[in-house]
Structure 1
């Protein structure tokens, strides 16, 4: 087989023929044994006609092995995913294509593609005799209830000669990757604070310039408009200076995802952690669509994008590309072994302006106070806490049978909007509930 780029080269020469002879079927070995036996009998009995029959019987499986050995170097394959990125529980279709690039027809071909067990059983196909220069295409569907990145391949191909004397199984080395991202729910527009001129507007604003003394000049660059030359700065610095272009400002949103293993109970598609991951994906996508610059932050302090206060979706980055980057990150995010949220708090100190949306696991009072201090630099803060129906989501860490105090109360006193999310509830429902909670807290403060 002529493998696709990156495939393992097939064995050639003497090693290849040794492998081909090892692939003789029961029929091929029987013909070879009968030919040898006929040759021995012809030699003992002096029968030339029997010797010819023996040579024919022995030559047929050997010629079949040679034919399969030559043919297997001249078969190519390719795989195409449609699409290569799917949400949880959605189906993707895998298209396989096999080309016979030799001048000889192939025998019966059997295909088997390797897939992880979470995607279902391994698909198998039987292809009829393929003519010289022929092509065959097959496809199968896969789906997963668990997010992640799953390798597909390598493709295994079994070649057989037309007489069924020899069969060889070879694998192409090329693999493809299927990315299963969290489910994203459409969210209604609500007003949560922290946005430009209220929530949800997300339009760019120009920074106001109070006067000539407030202008931030920079050095002249070839091609700059001479009408932008700032003469006062030019005289001060002794070189040609121009006014900076007005810098666009976008409303920012940070989504904090608590991934601590000790903060969640259970596992699997219906667990509280998976709900939090799906909720974070929904909020990030919603904010991008509303024109916000967004950032994903975890309890370990890792950020997307990394470093500082930069956000995905800033000027120059497309919304679709930003969403793909975030979804790819959430597709593989897992539990951390950390016990606290202090590293996330330190990361927010480097740039936590704008709206802060936190998907938290179970909190004790100490961790609740750490989260409460994150509110100081945020324009608005909303926390979603899991609710297992017994108060565990708010008042004690998972697995701890003792009440650890009112974590929700600590957050509310610090100015957070706290929403408890019962298991299985739609994200759109708790998203609207957050707006009502915020409005109720504002009315209570006015009174």
Structure 2
């Protein structure tokens, strides 16, 4: 039976409206899904993940990865110019033919231009402000640069003045190596060492001892491993503890609070994603309240005048390894020796650079991979004879374990990730004497 015209039109109109509603509903759901994904993504990027869990462990970074001003001499660009230059590059790669036509039209309309502006239009787009385009500013090769005196902080002769010297400040593909500023950075660190001497503070500490400090540092090593913190954080935290105890008399029931707070401060200084305060309360087995931890943080910072950029031995080891061209296993062995000294109070008064140089010297002799070269002498600032006394003490520390029950460092470096360097045979003391005599 045929349907009346009016009812058919209404029926068709209803179908169209239902289809429109379905399409709009689908679009709305798709839009909400995209918005939801973006919101989740933003929330995940801003959410604090606990570093104590394997999924939330922070990633490790280069040492002078953020200390760079390598591009400070380049012409500055505004945000609009950067976006404009990026857009031009995309258009050039996709519609190069149309863009060239538009450039010709713009040239005719704008009249005569300078040579630099014509080049920027006809070739790759560059910034027009400044003395020259960015793309033309290529670094001068090392061989063509003027000779610069690369003396060490101790006033040693530069590479061009010492026989057998090697210039390690060569351009590298790794931009975070900061080879252009490495000499100035380590010279600055050597000067900072003189500003942070540590005296024999245990003489005025009546409630804590050297053994208690060793137990605390052993626990701090475990915390660094569990939270997957960088080694720089561990070394700096130990330095903060020593400098704080040098000025404040501490009770033994507050020693762990000082250690955990020092790790918290060092994590904020070194880590991209420091652990939460609740994590530090948890590792202390809830022995302290949140207010106590925050109060101790303020107390430590005020006591140290907020000057916590203290040079540590760990930063010098990689530079020494670069001078000697040794493999990662030898460098790790030097790091193992250096980390053993953290829990030994007898080494707190040693300078970070000298301690690192002595640890690296001993590692070279234990692996029998080289000697103290003129390059090492120049860039470290120490002659081999300057390190003999400290090298003997370090070898004694390796051979005779004073704290045999504190095995956090040895267990850590017995893992295959660290090449099991803790199992490396030590040198006999008499043999070391002969090795040192032959090194003169």
TM range, normalised to the smaller chain? under 0.3
More strand by share: 1
Q: Relative contact order (C-alpha < 8 Å, sep 6+): which is higher?
A: 2
Give the TM-score normalised by the residue count of structure 1.
0.19
TM-score, normalised to structure 2's length?
Answer: 0.20
Larger Rg: 1
